[in-house]
Chains A and B, each alone.
Chain A
Amino acid sequence: EVQLVESGGNLVQPGGSLRLSCEASEFTFSSYAMSWVRQAPGKGLEWVADINGIGDSTSYADSVKGRFTISRDNSKNTLFLQMNSLRAEDTATYYCARLDIGAGDFFFDQWGQGSLVSVSS
């Protein structure tokens, strides 16, 4: 059974930094693109960032571009999200999600349980 386990969420002050990790198991990690998706308290889902399987291509939502960096270490089956210049509106549960590709579109087929990031003074 595919497992995705996030860690690193915490309370941080506005302007601060935090790094989230997502440890993957029970699948060939390097064969899959991966994503981060977040959900503010009581709100809907928002895609944050993608990275391809070998880690040389990334994309970001406009809301985090220039502040967040997605990366991966395939030798450790781990996905990362480095978050800098954090704002109150970044407060959310951050989910790690595996991207699968079917008939031409990427979609999220497996999700972790999430890691809570709170940005407040």
Chain B
Amino acid sequence: SYELTQPPSVSVSPGQTARITCSGDALPKKFAYWYQQKSGQAPVLVIYEDTKRPSGIPERFSGSSSGTMATLIISGAQVEDEADYYCYSTDSGGHHRVFGGGTKVTVL
């Protein structure tokens, strides 16, 4: 079955840049999407189609993708950005929806 691989945790100081990676064999052909989930809350879409930001999402959130790796970038991380972040994509056939295992971002 298809898998997306994320690091379990990332730590960053306030104001610094956090980078969260997501690797998957189909990512050269499939978009990556990123979701933020704060403790006790539902996920929220922060990046879609590798690089696009939904309305209402702060500009400090951006995305990139190259080859088999997609990256979520939080530029100038804030304390309120502490959350779990999940990448999402599909396999090359588009039949299976897959989430990465999630990355816990700590800002301190």
With A45-B35, A45-B99, A59-B95 already in contact, the answer to whether A102 and B49 are too (CB < 8 A) is: yes
Complex Cα–Cα for A105 and B1 (A): 19
Q: Given the complex, which residues of B lie within 8 Å of A108, measured CB to CB?
A: 33, 35, 43, 45, 88
0/1 interface trace, chain B 34-52, chain A, CB 8 Å (1 if under): 0101000111110011001
Question: What secondary structure prevails in chain A residues at the interface with B?
Answer: strand
0/1 interface trace, chain B 84-108, chain A, CB 8 Å (1 if under): 0010111000111111111000000
0/1 interface trace, chain B 6-36, chain A, CB 8 Å (1 if under): 0000000000000000000000001101010
With A45-B35, A46-B99, A59-B95 already in contact, the answer to whether A105 and B45 are too (CB < 8 A) is: no
Q: Given the complex, which residues of B lie within 8 Å of A104, measured CB to CB?
A: 31
Q: Given the complex, which residues of A lie within 8 Å of B94, measured CB to CB?
A: 105
Complex Cα–Cα for A44 and B97 (A): 14
- Restricting to A56-77, which residues have a CB under 8 Å from any CB of B? 59, 61-62
B97 to chain A, nearest CB (A): 4
Q: Would you call B95 and A103 a contact (CB within 8 A)?
A: no
- Restricting to B56-78, which residues have a CB under 8 Å from any CB of A? none
Q: Given the complex, which residues of A lie within 8 Å of B30, measured CB to CB?
A: 105
Binds B, one of A9-17, A79-87, A109-117: A109-117
A27 at the interface (CB under 8 A from B): no
Q: Would you call B99 and A47 a contact (CB within 8 A)?
A: yes
- Restricting to A19-53, which residues have a CB under 8 Å from any CB of B? 35, 44-47, 50
Closest CB pairs A-B (n = 10): A47-B97, A111-B42, A45-B99, A44-B102, A107-B33, A44-B101, A105-B31, A102-B49, A113-B42, A111-B43
**Which A residues are closer than 8 A to B by beta carbons?**
35, 44-47, 50, 59, 61-62, 95, 102-109, 111-114
